[in-house]
Amino acid sequence: MAETNFVDYVRIHCQSGNGGSGSAHLRREKFVAKGGPDGGDGGRGGHIILVGNEQMWTLLHLKFRKHIKAGHGEPGGKQRSTGADGEDIYLEVPLGTVARDVETGEFLFEITKHGEEQILMKGGRGGLGNDHFKTSTHQTPRFAQPGEEGVEGWKILELKVLADVGLVGFPSAGKSTLLSVVSAAKPKIADYPFTTLVPNLGIVGHREQRSFVMADIPGIIEGAHEGRGLGLRFLRHIERNSMLLFMVPADSKDHLKEYKILLNELEKYNPELLDKQRFLTISKADMLDEELMTEISSELGDIPHLFFSAVSGFNIQQLKDRIWEILNS
């Protein structure tokens, strides 16, 4: 995913269509002087609808399309003919797109299936024609119902990346390096924090032509659940991963503390994230000897973990085996 092309957050202004007004037409023919009401109903206003598309992976196409307006319904006609509905606007979005209201922050819905349709903005209802208002005592109503106005407002669309494995760690923990080694993905790699600003996906090949999808999530820092370091934008991508692979670098001053900080940030953001399968790894293990590995293992206690090095290839196959085992447990 090129960083310039990956967009996971947009604000769009939507306006659904007005409903058409009902007709107050009275039937008039050559030999029918007083035929009574025959006004038809107005058509409904156009909806704004989101449609899931599994071939899409970014919201880039909506980044510069800020104002979206649906068509208005046509008024009703004579002979009880109903006006045409306003034109619906269909917006294709990637799977994992969440819609929210800007003012309230309220969660509206999430698109999770290909071809799934959800109405983001409902069009106004068409007005009833005068035929609906006739009674035994009022047989010639000369009025009809006006159409209902559409609604308008700002909406937020957020994308949550879907992957089997999400890499979770502080900046510069080696997440991008691991992804570049085990897959064909080419994330940006450098020795300074926040090199990765958007998620990167890679397909990891395993034994016997098996594979799984790994996501390199931008680094988390302490206070991420409060928005520090763009934390809220990063954390939401973790929600749709089947398992979480925690990465603490070998040169960390306190491996256990760093792991607990990461767990705490996930819990503060969404406690349900701790229900996911998770596994701890110590990256950059080429910096360690046997004695240091034993010392770190005793520090971690009974927490299952694995040492590996993406640079030297140490334990890479064992890591993939363990991930596959957890995914299929």
Spelled out in words, what is the top-level CATH class assigned to the domain 1-159?
mainly beta
Question: What CATH number does domain 163-327 carry, 2.60.40.10, 3.40.50.11690, 3.30.70.120, 3.40.50.300?
Answer: 3.40.50.300
Residues 6+ apart with CB under 8 A from 147: 18, 19, 20, 21, 22, 42, 45, 73, 75, 124, 125, 126, 127
Query: Global pTM?
Result: 0.70
Number of Cβ within 10 Å of residue 292's Cβ equals 14
Per-residue pLDDT of the chain (329 residues; tens, 9 = 90+): 444 566 778 999 999 999 999 999 988 877 777 778 999 999 999 999 999 998 888 888 998 888 999 999 999 999 899 999 999 999 999 988 999 999 888 999 999 899 999 999 999 999 999 989 998 888 889 899 999 999 999 999 988 877 889 888 888 788 888 988 888 766 554 454 444 456 777 888 888 778 888 888 776 656 544 544 444 556 777 777 889 999 999 999 999 999 999 898 888 888 888 889 999 999 999 999 999 999 999 999 999 999 999 999 999 999 999 999 999 88
In angstroms, rounded to a whole number, what is the distance separating the alpha carbons of residues 265 and 242? 18
In angstroms, rounded to a whole number, what is the distance separating the alpha carbons of residues 316 and 306? 10
The domain spans of the chain are 1-159, 163-327
In angstroms, rounded to a whole number, what is the distance separating the alpha carbons of residues 43 and 137? 28
Number of Cβ within 10 Å of residue 126's Cβ equals 30
Instruction: Characterize the bridge pairing of strands 67-69 and 9-15.
Output: parallel
Number of helices (H), then strands (E), in the chain? 6, 14
